[in-house]
Amino acid sequence: MTVMEQRGAYRPSPPPAWQPRTDPAPLLPDAEPYRVLGTEAAAKADPELLRRLYGQLVLGRRYNTQATALTKQGRLAVYPSSTGQEACEVAAALALEDRDWLFPSYRDTLAAVARGVDPVQALTLLRGDWHTGYDPYEHRVAPLSTPLATQLPHAVGLAHAARLKGDDVVALAMVGDGGTSEGDFHEALNFAAVWQAPVVFLVQNNGFAISVPLAKQTAAPSLAHKAVGYGMPGRLVDGNDAAAVHEVLTDAVRHARAGGGPTLIEAVTYRIDAHTNADDATRYRGDAEVETWRAHDPVRLLERELTGRGLLDEDAVAAVREDAEAMAARLRERMNQDPALDPMDLFAHVYAEPTGQLREQQELLRAELAAEAEEGAAR
Partner 1 sequence: MTTVALKPATMAQALTRALRDALAADPSVHVMGEDVGTLGGVFRVTDGLAKEFGEDRCTDTPLAEAGILGTAVGMAMYGLRPVVEMQFDAFAYPAFEQLASHVAKMRNRTRGKMPLPITVRIPYGGGIGGVEHHSDSSEAYYMATPGLHVVTPATVADAYGLLRAAIASDDPVVFLEPKRLYWSKDSWNPDDPPAVEPIGRAVVRRTGRSATLITYGPSVPVCLEAAEAARAEGWDLEVVDLRSLVPFDDETVCASVRRTGRAVVVHESNGFGGPGGEIAARITERCFHHLEAPVLRVAGFDVPYPPPMLERHHLPGVDRILDAVARLQWEAES
Ligand X SMILES: Cc1ncc(C[n+]2csc(CCOP(=O)(O)OP(=O)(O)O)c2C)c(N)n1
Residues in touch with ligand X (CB under 6 A):
107, 146-148, 176-179, 206, 208-210, 271, 275
Considering the complex, state which of residue 56 and residue 85 has its C-beta at the smaller distance from ligand X: 85
Beta strands across the sheet bearing 234-238: 101-103, 171-176, 199-205, 263-268, 234-238
Binds 345, which of ligand X, partner 1, none (CB < 5 to 8 A, cut-off by type)? partner 1
Q: Which is nearer to partner 1, 256 or 306 (CB)?
A: 256
Angle CA(255)–CA(261)–CA(266) in degrees, nearest 5?
Answer: 75
End-to-end CA distance of the chain: 109
Binds 179: which of ligand X, partner 1, none (CB < 5-8 Å by kind)? ligand X
- Cα–Cα distance for residue pair 197/299, rounded to 1 Å: 33
x/- track of binding to partner 1 for residues 130-149 (CB under 8 A): xxx--xxx----xx---x--
35: DSSP letter: -
Partner that binds at residue 206, options partner 1, ligand X, none, CB closer than 5 to 8 Å by kind: ligand X
Q: Report whether 176 contacts 202 (CB < 8 A).
A: no
| Residue 160 in the binding site for partner 1 (CB under 8 A) | yes
Contact call for residues 237 and 267 (beta carbons, < 8 A): yes
Torsion (CA) 56, 62, 64, 67 in degrees, nearest 10: -130
Q: Verify whether residue 10 is a known catalytic residue.
A: no
Residue 275 bears catalytic tag? yes
238 forms beta bridges with 268
356 lines the binding site for partner 1 (CB under 8 A): yes
Does residue 271 have an active-site annotation?
yes
Active-site choice (51, 52, 284, 285): 284
Shortest Cβ distance from residue 378 to partner 1 (Å)? 31
State in angstroms the smallest separation of the CB of 78 from ligand X. 11
- Contact in structure between 174 and 104 (CB atoms under 8 Å): yes
Residue type, 306: L
If one asks whether residue 152 binds partner 1 (CB under 8 A), the answer comes out as yes
Q: Decide: 276 and 91 in contact? Cβ < 8 Å.
A: no
Q: Report, in Å, the least distance between residue 80 CB and ligand X.
A: 6
- Report the catalytic residues: 271, 275, 284
Interface residue list for partner 1 (CB under 8 A): 130-132, 135-137, 142-143, 147, 150, 152-162, 164-165, 171, 183-184, 186-188, 190-191, 194, 345, 348-352, 355-357
